Amino acid sequence: MNALSGLLAASEGESSNPIIPAWFEVVWGSIAFFLLLIVMWKLALPPIRRAMEARTERIQGDLDAAATAKTEAEELRASYDARLAEANAEAARIIEEARAQAEEVRQERLAAIEPEIAERRAQAEADIAAARERAMAEVRADITSIAVGAAEQVVMASIDEAAHAQLIEDYIERVGN
């Protein structure tokens, strides 16, 4: 049954109280512990603590620098934004001014040109009326002279009814041509 005790290879000596420390174990344990303490204190820990502190400082420094950079960037951006808004307002103002000026100029020009147009229109209307008068007079004179001529012809050939008709016919044809 005691396969377990074989595995454990435990002591065959008299069983002592487990509460009482065994001296030889205290000796080896103390040697191990004080060696560990000395190695840790003098050799292993200082460089590691230095490195950890250096890294902490560096990370903190990086974080601080990043925070500073961020604040600066934000300030810069705020100033850019302000300037942009200013420029936009300025541009809007200039455009508005230009538009007002253009409108003013247009109104002025319009006002200046109005009487001239009216004058020219009156002139043109008078010209048309005169031309028409002249033409009417000419036409009337022509028709009179034609009628006189036709009457002469009729009077001259009144003997013959047929000749009379022929004459009128001829005359009209002539005039028509």
Partner 1 sequence: MDLLAQADNAVDGLKALGAGLGYGLAAIGPGVGIGLVVGNAITAMARQPESAGMVRTTMFLGIAFTEALALIGFVVFILLNFT
Partner 2 sequence: MNLLALTFPDIAHLLEWPGLFGHDDGTNAWYALNKVGIIYLFAFVAPVLIFVSAKRRYDRSEVIVAPRGIQNVAETSVGFIRENIIMQSIGPDGLRYLPFLLSIFLFIFFSNITEVVPLIHFPANARMAMPVTLAILVWLVFNGIGIKHHGFFGYLKNVVVPPGVPKALLPLVALIEFVSTFVVRPFSLAVRLFANMLAGHLLLVTFAVLSHTVFWLALTDDTPTWLVIITPAPFLMLIGLTGFEILVAVLQAFIFTILTAVYIGGALHPEH
Q: Could you tell me the sign of the dihedral formed by the alpha carbons of 100, 102, 103, 107, in that order? A: positive
SS3 21: coil
Give the C-alpha separation, 85 to 79, whole Å. 10
Give the C-alpha separation, 66 to 106, whole Å. 59
Piece of 44-52, 121-129, 132-140, 143-151 that binds partner 2 (CB under 8 A):
44-52
**By CB under 8 A, is residue 15 in contact with partner 1?**
yes
Q: How far is the CB of 13 from partner 1 (least distance, A)?
A: 15
Count the site residues for partner 1 by CB under 8 A: 4
Q: How far is the CB of 2 from partner 2 (least distance, A)?
A: 7
**By CB under 8 A, is residue 35 in contact with partner 2?**
yes
Residue with smaller CB distance to partner 2, 19 or 155: 19
- Residue 3 CA, chain-centre distance (Å), reads 90
**By CB under 8 A, is residue 173 in contact with partner 2?**
no
Give the C-alpha separation, 41 to 27, whole Å. 21
**By CB under 8 A, is residue 2 in contact with partner 1?**
no
Residue with smaller CB distance to partner 1, 4 or 19: 19
Give the C-alpha separation, 86 to 104, whole Å. 27
**By CB under 8 A, is residue 62 in contact with partner 2?**
no
Dihedrals φ, ψ of 21, to 5°?
A: -65, 145
CA angle, residues 48, 51, 53, in degrees to nearest 5: 105
Q: Which of 2, 11, 17, 177 binds partner 1 (CB under 8 A)?
A: 17
User: Which residues here bind partner 2, judged by CB under 8 A?
Assistant: 1-5, 8-16, 18-33, 35-37, 39-41, 43-45, 47-52, 54-55, 58
